[in-house]
Structure formats: C-alpha cells, structure tokens
Structure 1
Amino acid sequence: MRYRAEIDGLRALAVVPVILYHAGFLWIPGGFVGVDVFFVISGYLITSILMTDLENSRFSIITFYERRARRILPALFAMIILVMPLAYCYLLPGDTINFWKSVLAVCFFVSNYLFLSLTGYFSPDVDLMPLLHTWSLAVEEQFYIFFPLILFCLWRLGTRAIIFFLALIGGVSFYYADIGSISEPTFTFYSITTRSWELILGAFAAIYFRSDCQIHKQRIIASLLGSCGIGAIIFSMLYITGSTPYPGRYALLPTLGAFLVIIFCSETNFPGRILSLKPMVGIGLISYSAYLWHQPLMAIVRHKYIIEPSINVMMCVILITMLLAYLSWRFIEKPFRGKGNITRLQIFTYAGVGTSLFVTIAIIGVKTPYLNRFEGSEIYNSSVYRLRGNFGLSQQCE
C-alpha cells in the first residue's frame, strides 16, 4: 500500500503523550489515550493490507502472521533481553515474581489479563511494572487471531456484509465498553472484548478508501475535518483523566479524531502537512520501539529511587528512550522487516526459539529462588518491604 507520511505523524502524536503521561507530567493527564489512537491506526493498516491481498487473490494466513512476527517480535524480544538483568538487580521480591509472570504472559500475548488480575491501570503501583505497556500488544494480537479469518469468510459476501458484521461486532464491543467503564472499569480497560471496537473503527477507515465516497478529495472539507481530528485527539489528552470512565463514550474523542485524521489528512492539505513534518515523521518511524522502551526504563528508575524521580531525571530517561528507540528501529526493526535479509523460515525459527527461551527463564523465575536476588535475605523482614507490599509504596531498599 502507498506510504503516507501523515500516518507516521499521527503515530508521533500518539506515542509522545503516552511517554509524557507515564513520565508523570501532570499537564497531560489523558496522555494514555495515545494507545487508543494506535488501535485505530493498526486497524486501518492491517485491514488495508488484508483487503489488498484478498483483492489480488494472494491472501495467506501464514503470510499475515509472518508480517506480524517481523513487525512485533524482534524489537520486543530485544527489549525483554535487556530489561531482565535490570529487573533482577532492582526489583524487590514480590515485584520480581510479578515481572517473571509478565514475561511469561507476554510470550503468549495475554499480559492484558495478567495485569487485569494484578492491578488497575491507574493504580499507584503500575508505574513500577516494567512490562505493563505490553497489555496493548496483547489486545492487538488477540484481535488479529480472529479478524483475518472473519474478513476472509465475509469477503465473498461483499462489502455490505463486511460492513454489517463489523458494525455489529463493533457496536456490541462499544456497548459493553461504555457500561463496563463504570461497572467494571479494570476489566473494561484491559479486555479485548471492550477494545475491539477501536480496531474495527480503523478497519472502517480502510473500507472507506475502497468505496465510491470522494469527500476526502474536497480540499476545504478535508482540511477542516482533518484539523478537527487532530484537535479532538489533543483535547482528549488534555481533559480526559484517570478518573474519567474509560474506554466508553469518552474514548470516542481520540478514536474518532484518529479516524478523521486517517481519512482526511493528506500531503495536499494543511493538517496533513503538519503531520508530515520531518520531526513528526521521524518520531513516528521509531514510535513502536519508543513505546516498547519507555515503560521498562521508567519503572526501573522508579525502583532505583526512594522517592518519585525528579522531572530532570525523567527527561533524561525520555532522551535515553528515544536513543534506544532509534537504535532499535535502525538495527533491529528495519533488518527484520526486510524479507531479503531474513527468510520466513528464519523469522519463525527465531520466534519459536526466542519464545521457548523466555518461557523457560520465566518459569524458573516464578517457581524457583534462583532468579530472585533477594530470596532468603533479610530484606524479606525489612519494614520498608512490608510497607511497600501492604500499601503499594514505591520506596526502594538500598
């Protein structure tokens, strides 16, 4: 499919607020909604690719999962490899056990349900979980277990059938997200059943470009609606907070904003040119790796310090995050995404071997004392550890 620089700009608009939010910047209380923007982008891109393959009679579920493996696993595995020794050095006993559980959950893309059972997304202790952010990867991969097969089965029935069934699934998902954001907020935040509608919204953007509708080609209307989309995303990041029922009706702001940006922003209008600026595109290109690196680094730093790190410290962490993101994109993401560099057999072999290795290490970490640095030490009896275990405090024994 045709490269769109404004989509990378939209990625930048999504990832930067997420990083700032997790760094503790209070002026962007809704930065976490960047994840919702990512869901819409992902739904759009994946549906566009799948529909192109179906149109050209080259749809293959193996090829689809090969693409996903090339996109997701190499940078994810590299991050886990480098974070494991840091977790061993700085995490306290209970946190260490949960870390190894999270490594195990990441391997099977079910970390959203692990964190659902451990904590709420807005609880004080989430800042101490190095792999918390992988919940969104789990949601995406769970969605993509079924979505390609659904689209394949509906393809011969025509576009109307696809729209009807996706609208039905998305509508049910949104309904439960809206009522669940009040009655069961933790489950609703993490669950694939209440997040699917966001990915489906992105799928509708892909379907739009295969329709006869030409609204996006009317420059004034496109500029206006594209600008409204950007404005809705920024507004939601500034005014939605952790106390807002989410992701229900309030999630419509960032997701519909992303939908409008995808359809109406282009290189021919003002909002599209803003998103296509080189700094925006540059951040967008490394956004996946930046997303991977920011949470573990911030969590480890918080474990290291007795009190919440200063803004200056967190700014340094952000700079290190962006440096690691560039290196990860340049030397890991790009080579693995090029089929001329690494074959399908090799990528699946690496995925299998890497997953098996992580699963083995994680099981050892959970079941034995060998990967817990404080096992059997006096720290188990320390008052600081008991306080932290009982009240979720972020103090670190030195």
Structure 2
Amino acid sequence: MSSIKYRPEIDGLRAIAVISVIIYHLNENWLSGGFLGVDIFFVISGFLITGIIITEIQQNSFSFKQFYTRRIKRIYPAFITVMALVSLIASAIFIYKDFDQLRKTIELATAFLSNFYLGLTQGYFDLSANENPVLHIWSLAVEEQYYLIFPLILILAYKKFREIKALFIITLILFFILLATSFIPANFYKEVLHQPNIYYLSNLRFPELLVGSLLAIYHNLSASKQASKQASKQASKQAMLLQY
C-alpha cells in the first residue's frame, strides 16, 4: 500500500524522461542533454518506493520478504523475456567478441551488477555504447541495489528512533556523505577501484535516489502535520460546542 496517491505530474515527468532519453539515443545532437532523463527516473523511483516503505512502516505491515517478492515479480518476468530475445538476435548478428561482452553484461544484470561491469569495460558516451543493446540496464542495476540497501537502513533507524523525522535526518546525512564521494578524483576510481567509467557507479547515483526519498519523507511529515492540525481544529470546535 502506498502513501502516495496517483499524481499525474509524476507520469508527466516520466514521459519527459523517456522521450528525452529516446531522442538522445536516436541522435544526441537533437537533444544533447537528453541522457539526464535517467536522473529524473532515479528521483521518481526514490520518491515512490520510499513513500510505500514509510507507509508500511507506520502501519507495522512492512515485510522484507513481501517487499522483495513484489520487486522480483515486477521486474524479472519482463527482464528475462527481453534479455532472452536480445541474446537470440545478437547470437545471429554479433561477432564473437561483441557477443561475449553482451553475454557477460546480461549475466551480471541478472544479479543487478551490470553497472560495475560496464564501468570497467564501456563508457556511456563511447561510440561503441550505441551498439550495445543492453546498455540501458545499468540504471536498473543501480535502482535494485538501492532497493536492497535503503529499506534496511529505514527499518533499523525506525526501530531505534520510532520517528519519521529521524529518518529524514538520517537520509539527509547519507545524501551528503554519498554526494561527497563525487568530489573524489576520477583517477582514484580508475587506478584503485578499476572503474574508469564512473558514470555508472552506484555511490554517485544513489544521491539522486536519495533526493526522491527525502521528498517522500518530507511529504509524509507534512501530511502528518496537516492531519494533526485538522484534528486539533476539529477537537477545538467540538469542545466549544460542548461548552454551549
């Protein structure tokens, strides 16, 4: 159950993000910043998933098993189908070297780790990237890694502090910590972590998801505050009526 009702503006943002990315991949000169649509997706994903988790936490109905089962049922059927079709077609038209790279990407994608492999082998803005039919699944890997880690943090924090406000503060701290990693010199990622293509790295993408999470938690706090005010006004009115 989600605390966030249907909001058409979110679907509008999704449409803008999808169209931007598609146009960019068709011809980057048509919309040079179209790849930023992925960033919009990350913020939206963080917002929606956190809203769901917060509601279930408050209702004492959150279950890791149910949460991850829902994710698997939602992602894997379509994912496996698409990857199987891509593999079948690629096996007929790709040379061995290219197909081998594609195979490794798909294998790691099933465990949502393809972004690390791509970070090692292929830059997002490389010319060869346009020839990789599964390049886009790096963003799915980042999202699923976030969905694996962030709920654990929320649950542990809520069990300790029992306040949604505390979750906002902790999420904000995480945001600044991970944001700080973007100031680490690129050579560190290349020479020490062997990740020359930092565009895909989770620690540099999680802040975008955390922005969405912060907005969701703030939305929850604001809604709770508003509901409390309304309840207080209603109680005052009833008290005044009883006096007369």
CA distance in structure 2 between the partners assigned to 1:72 and 1:191 by the alignment: 21
Deviation string 1:82-118 (CA, Å, 9 cap, x unpaired) is 1111101111121011011111111111000111111
Change in Cα spacing, 1:173 to 1:213, as seen in structure 2 (3 Å) is same
- Are residues 1:112 and 2:101 paired? no
> Residue 357 of structure 1 aligns with which residue?
none
Compute the displacement of 1:144 (Å): 1.3
Q: Which residue matches 1:162? A: 167
Q: Secondary structure at the match of 1:32?
A: helix
Q: Is the partner of 2:102 in helix, strand or coil?
A: helix
C-alpha offsets along residues 172-208 of structure 1, whole Å, 9 cap, x if unaligned?
1112124456875844311111111111100011111
Native 8 Å contact 1:177 1:188 kept in 2: no
Residue matched to 1:94: 97
Shift of 1:212: 3.2
Coordinate RMSD, CA, aligned: 1.9
1:196 paired residue number: 206
Equivalent position amino acid for 2:167 in 1: I
Alignment equivalent of 1:205, drawn from 189, 212, 215: 215
Amino acid at match of 2:166: A
Deviations 1:112-164 (Å, cap 9, x if unpaired)? Answer: 01111111111111111111111111111111111111101111412332122
* Compared CA separation, residues 172 and 205, structure 1 to 2 (3 A): same
TM-score when scaled to structure 1? 0.51
1:1-398 correspondence runs (5 A): 1=2, 2-156=5-159, 157=161, 158-180=163-185, 184=189, 186-212=196-222
Q: Distance in 1 between matches of 2:185 and 2:138?
A: 18
Q: 1 CA distance for matches of 2:20 and 2:132?
A: 19
Contact 2:39/2:208, CA 8 A, preserved across alignment: yes
Q: Which amino acid aligns with 1:167?
A: L
Letter in 2 for 1:130: P
Q: Which amino acid aligns with 2:75?
A: I
Counterpart in the other structure of 2:230: none
The 1:43/1:180 distance shift into structure 2, 3 A limit, reads farther
Give the whole-Å Cα distance in 2 for the aligned partners of 1:86 and 1:41.
Answer: 32
Structure 1 unaligned spans of 5+: 215-398
User: In 2, Cα distance between the equivalents of 1:203 and 1:181?
Assistant: 27
State whether residues 113 and 190 of structure 1, in contact with CA within 8 Å, keep that contact through their aligned partners in structure 2: yes
Residues matched between the structures, number: 214
Which TM-score applies when normalising by structure 2? 0.82
Aligned to 2:239: none
